[in-house]
């Protein structure tokens, strides 16, 4: 009856960390698109990259409650790193370059994370926005390095792992992006289901109480902000590598705002929100852009306004039946597990 | 010693040819002074314009703790209203300005009553999403109606060109901006400190709950202030179209400037935002003149440093809230 708390927590965490059948189905479906939708690999690559970027924003917004209006800073930093590494042939192998770019963004994230520790929501908004603007201004002014407003041109990408060449139809790019997304997703999943992830939720819920029970609030925030920055950097680097081009667009405010919308559409705080949101957002963008190529921003704005007026909770509520289904399937699987496991323990 | 050093860095080598003669140097000095005064003047004009543009935002933020990123959209509305009135309908420029104020204030009141009221109680994230959505819609809508190119308000002949004040060339239009914005600032300060409405507003900013308890209709005060602030933004947009440039992305381009004014100046008075605007105007003009390579970089960096140093704002008194 009186089990030690640590074992209760461990059981709880283990239960949370278990993969549900629906999750497995999700990733199988994602893998199946490689064969099922070979003609749509270009847009699927964009979706994967946007999903990864939104996932990184989810880490700080959904799990730490930091509202950022300048997350594109890290995305763009990673994008330019990857571009410069490839252009000047410093590191030609894409995977290594990807990791290096991610690490560079991580360092930037660590340095700037101390700026978001202080102040209210508004101060954080301003500081994150300011960091992104400063980077954009630097990229704009040092045009001899970054190409300025024309973008960084003349990037030639070496084959991935020295074997898989980037092709015109984006097959390699898609598989590459999807694998990177999956690996990083698994790591993120591991992070948020760890005791560290649990303590982050406590910090998000109530920083004062969290620090009262002995959680080092600031260091938790620094850590997750740094990790998220690295994720964003890798997403940006992926964009550069798969398109062999990067421009000031990667640092634009609109990118940060769009990603916020992606995350809000999909829902925050359960990691899949960014991925589902990215699918919906890209399909919506594709559809609207076909109708009115110039003014699709209007409809994006309208969606944002409507989501807020209707209420995010209610929008998330529309997903409730699906979530309930996930839960039910998950529970059944667990019960089957428990039934299967208990005789073994008894014997 | 010093001379040798100069020769070493290649500076003095040109002195026989390149260095201007002494008499010329003397002539340069007053011109340099003139440039500094011109920068000062332009910076103040720019800063006062920013103040008129942003003071409405500072009040809404201080009063309702509402993050309104769409404030610039109202300024843009004022600018485009003036363009339509003055350029297309032939309304005199000086009549166009108050009309821009009235129409934008009406739009502000309408939006406040129909849309914004639903968002006051929501989280900051919701407010940010909502107002960004409004900005995007405004940008696309203006692009659709007016086209994406930059618009210019036709300024009457007598406002163009420069006049000499104490030997300094002063743009007439900038002088008008300083006069109009200066009068507005004084009027605002008087309204805030001397009128009944002003004391209600200050009470509501200081402590909303107590103000409500004392019978101040905070919602009405807020609605009025919001409309008035939007109107001021509209007037600023109309006045500033010439200097700031008016195109559909105006709200996004200047959003950060308004936010800097508000966060650096604090939201507890209008003197804070006023000083912050003047500093920002001077800093931006001087920065762009002396360090064009760095451009807006200086401003953003200063903002970040100030926010880290004093999250409540540079001129804010500490509020226990």
What local confidence, expressed as pLDDT, does residue A328 receive? 66
| Residues in Cβ contact with A159 at an 8 Å cutoff, skipping those fewer than 6 apart | A94, A165, A166
A137 and B135: CB-CB below 8 Å?
A: no
**CA gap B285, B31 in Å, rounded:** 18
Mutation target among B120, B129, B139, B314 for the A interface, most CBs of A within 10 A: B129
Among residues B268, B226, B189, the alpha carbon closest in space to that of B56 is found at B226
Q: Closest residue of A to B140, CA-based?
A: A298
The number of C-beta contacts closer than 8 angstroms across A and B is: 124
pLDDT for the residue B27: 45
Taking the Cβ of residue A179 and every Cβ of chain B, the question of whether any pair is shorter than 8 Å is answered with no
**Distance (Å, rounded) from C-alpha A59 to C-alpha A109?**
13
Q: Is A264 on the interface with B (CB under 8 A)?
A: yes
Topology of the domain covering B38-309: ABC transporter involved in vitamin B12 uptake, BtuC (1.10.3470)
Is residue B234 over pLDDT 90? yes
The residue to which tokens 């006069």 are assigned: B179
Q: Which residues of B touch A121 (CB under 8 A)?
A: 67, 124-125
Q: Six-digit token pair at B320?
A: 């226990």
Please state whether B216 falls in left (phi above 0), alpha (psi between -120 and 50) or beta: beta
Is A305 close to B301, i.e. CB distance below 8 A?
no
Where are chain A's structural domains?
17-252
Cβ distance A297 to B136 less than 8 Å, yes or no, reads: yes
Distance CA A214, CA A216 (A): 6
CB within 8 Å: A121 and B124: yes
User: Which A-chain residues 101-130 have CB contacts (< 8 A) with chain B?
Assistant: 115, 118-123, 125-127, 129-130
Say if CB B28 and CB B222 are below 8 A apart: no
Phi/psi at B247 (5° precision): -145, 170
Confidence of residue B28 (pLDDT cuts 50, 70, 90): very low
Q: What is the pLDDT of residues B200-233, one digit of tens each?
A: 888 888 888 898 899 888 888 888 989 999 999 9
- Spatial distance between the Cα atoms of B261 and B267, rounded to a whole number of angstroms: 10
Task: Decide: B250 and B72 in contact? Cβ < 8 Å.
Answer: yes
- Residue A183, min C-alpha distance to chain B (Å): 29
Mutation for testing the A interface, residue in B58, B132, B141, B263 having most A CBs under 10 Å: B132
Q: What is the pLDDT of residue B243?
A: 83
d(CA A231, CA A234): 5
The chain B residue lying nearest A303, using CA atoms, is B133
Per-run averaged pLDDT (10 residues), chain A, 347 residues: 74 80 88 84 90 94 88 93 88 89 94 82 83 87 80 79 78 90 93 88 85 86 94 94 88 89 86 90 86 80 87 69 64 57 40
Name B169's bridge partners.
B164
3-state secondary structure chain B: CHHHHHHHCCCCCCHHHHCCCHHHHHHHHHHHHHHHHHHHHHHHHHHHHHHHHHHHHHHHHHHHCCCCCCHHHHHHHHHHHHHHHHHHHCCCHHHHHHHHHHHHHHHHHHHHHHCHHHCCCCCHHHHHHHHHHHHHHHHHHHHHHHCCCCECCCCCHHHCCEEEECCEEEEHHHHHHHHHHHHHHHHHHHHHHHCHHHHHHHHHHHCHHHHHHCCCCHHHHHHHHHHHHHHHHHHHHHHHHHHHCECCCHHHHHHHHHHHHHHHHCCCCCHHHHHHHHHHHHHHHHHHHHCCCCCCHHHHHHHHHHHHHCCCCCCCCCCCC
Contact A309 B308 (CB under 8 A): no
3-class SS of residue A160: strand
Quick check: B260 and B303 in contact, CB under 8 A? yes
Q: Does A118 contact B308 at a Cβ distance shorter than 8 Å?
A: yes
CB < 8 Å to A295, chain B: 140, 143-144
Of the candidates B115, B137, B300, which has its C-beta nearest A301's C-beta?
A: B137
CA A6 centroid distance within chain: 31
Alpha-carbon torsion A42, A305, A60, A128, what sign?
positive
Alpha-carbon Rg for chain B in angstroms: 23
- Asked if residues A247 and A118 have their Cβ atoms less than 8 Å apart, the reply is no
Confidence of residue B5 (pLDDT cuts 50, 70, 90): very low
A33 exposed, middle or buried (CB, 10 Å; 0-12, 13-18, 19+)?
Answer: middle
* Per-residue pLDDT, B321: 40
User: Chain A contacts of B295, Cβ < 8 Å?
Assistant: 137, 140-141
The 3-state DSSP class for residue A215 equals coil
What are the backbone dihedrals phi and psi of residue A201, each rounded to the nearest 5 degrees, phi first?
-60, -40
Q: How many Cβ atoms are within 10 Å of B70's Cβ, its own excluded?
A: 26
Percent of chain B topping pLDDT 70: 85
**A164: helix, strand or coil:** strand
- For residues B136 and A285, what is the distance between their CA atoms, to the nearest angstrom? 14
d(CA A338, CA A332): 10
The residue among A277, A289, A304, A309 with the most chain B CBs within 10 A of its CB, best to mutate, is: A304
SS3 A231: helix
Contact call for A126 and B118, based on CB within 8 A: no
B→A interface, C-beta within 8 Å: 61, 67, 115, 118-119, 122, 124-130, 132-141, 143-144, 252, 256, 259-260, 263, 293-297, 300-301, 303-304, 307-308, 311
Mean pLDDT confidence for B27-52: 78
Distance from CA of A305 to the nearest CA of B (A): 5
Please state the ipTM of this predicted complex. Answer: 0.80
Contact A133, B296 (CB under 8 A): yes
Residue among B126, B136, B293 whose CB faces A141 most closely:
B293
């Amino acid at each position: 009856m009186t089990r030690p708390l640590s074992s209760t927590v461990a059981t709880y965490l283990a239960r949370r960390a278990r993969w549900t059948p629906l999750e497995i189905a999700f990733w199988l479906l994602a893998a199946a698109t490689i064969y099922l939708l070979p003609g749509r690999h270009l847009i699927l690559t964009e979706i994967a990259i946007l999903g990864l970027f939104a996932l990184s924003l989810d880490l700080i917004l959904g799990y730490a409650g930091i509202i950022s209006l300048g997350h594109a800073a890290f995305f763009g930093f990673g994008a330019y790193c990857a571009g410069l590494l490839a252009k000047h042939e410093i590191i030609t192998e894409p995977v290594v370059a990807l990791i290096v770019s991610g690490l560079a963004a991580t360092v930037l994230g660590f340095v700037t994370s101390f700026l978001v520790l202080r102040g209210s929501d508004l101060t954080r908004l301003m500081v994150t926005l300011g960091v992104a603007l400063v980077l954009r201004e630097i990229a704009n002014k040092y045009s001899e390095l970054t190409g300025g407003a024309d973008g960084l041109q003349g990037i030639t990408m070496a084959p991935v792992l020295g074997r898989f060449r980037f092709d015109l139809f984006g097959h390699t790019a898609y598989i590459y992006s999807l694998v990177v997304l999956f690996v990083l997703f698994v790591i993120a999943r591991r992070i948020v289901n760890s005791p560290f992830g649990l303590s982050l939720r406590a910090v998000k819920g109530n920083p004062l109480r969290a620090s009262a029970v002995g959680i080092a609030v600031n260091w938790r925030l620094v850590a997750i902000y740094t990790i998220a920055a690295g994720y964003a950097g890798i997403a940006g680097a992926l964009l550069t590598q798969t398109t062999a081009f990067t421009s000031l667009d990667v640092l634009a405010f609109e990118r940060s705002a769009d990603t916020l919308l992606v995350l809000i559409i999909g829902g925050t705080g359960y990691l899949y929100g960014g991925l589902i949101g990215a699918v919906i957002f890209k399909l919506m963008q594709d559809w609207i852009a076909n109708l009115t190529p110039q003014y699709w921003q209007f409809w994006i704005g309208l969606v944002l306004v409507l989501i807020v007026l209707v209420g995010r909770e209610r929008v998330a509520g529309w997903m409730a039946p699906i979530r309930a289904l996930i839960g039910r399937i998950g529970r059944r699987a667990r019960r089957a597990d428990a039934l299967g496991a208990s005789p073994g323990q008894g014997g | 010693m010093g001379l040798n050093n100069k020769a070493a860095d290649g500076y003095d080598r040109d002195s026989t040819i390149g260095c201007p003669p002494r008499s010329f140097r003397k002539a340069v000095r007053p011109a340099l002074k003139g440039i500094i005064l011109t920068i000062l003047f332009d910076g103040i004009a720019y800063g006062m314009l920013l103040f008129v543009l942003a003071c409405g935002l500072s009040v809404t933020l201080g009063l309702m703790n509402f993050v309104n990123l769409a404030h610039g959209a109202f300024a843009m509305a004022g600018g485009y209203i003036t363009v339509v009135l003055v350029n297309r309908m032939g309304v005199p420029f000086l009549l166009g300005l108050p009309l821009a104020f009235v129409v934008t204030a009406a739009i502000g009141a309408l939006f406040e009553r129909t849309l914004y009221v639903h968002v006051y109680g929501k989280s900051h994230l919701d407010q940010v999403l909502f107002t960004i959505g409004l900005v995007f819609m405004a940008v696309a809508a203006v692009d659709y109606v007016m086209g994406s190119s930059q618009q210019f308000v036709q300024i009457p002949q007598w406002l163009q060109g420069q006049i000499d004040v104490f030997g300094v060339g002063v743009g007439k239009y900038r002088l008008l901006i300083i006069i109009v914005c200066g009068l507005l600032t004084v009027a605002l300060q008087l309204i805030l400190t001397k009128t009944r409405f002003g004391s209600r507003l200050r009470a509501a900013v200081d402590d909303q709950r107590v103000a409500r308890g004392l019978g101040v209709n905070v919602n009405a005060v807020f609605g009025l202030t919001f409309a008035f602030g939007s109107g001021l933004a509209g007037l600023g947009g109309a006045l500033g179209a010439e200097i700031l440039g008016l195109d559909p992305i105006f709200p996004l381009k200047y959003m950060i400037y308004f936010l800097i004014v508000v966060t650096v100046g604090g939201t507890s008075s209008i003197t804070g935002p006023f000083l912050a605007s003047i500093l920002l105007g001077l800093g931006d003009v001087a920065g762009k003149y002396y360090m064009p390579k760095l451009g807006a970089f200086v401003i953003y960096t200063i903002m970040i440093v100030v926010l880290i140093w004093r999250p409540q704002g540079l001129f804010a008194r500490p509020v226990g809230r």
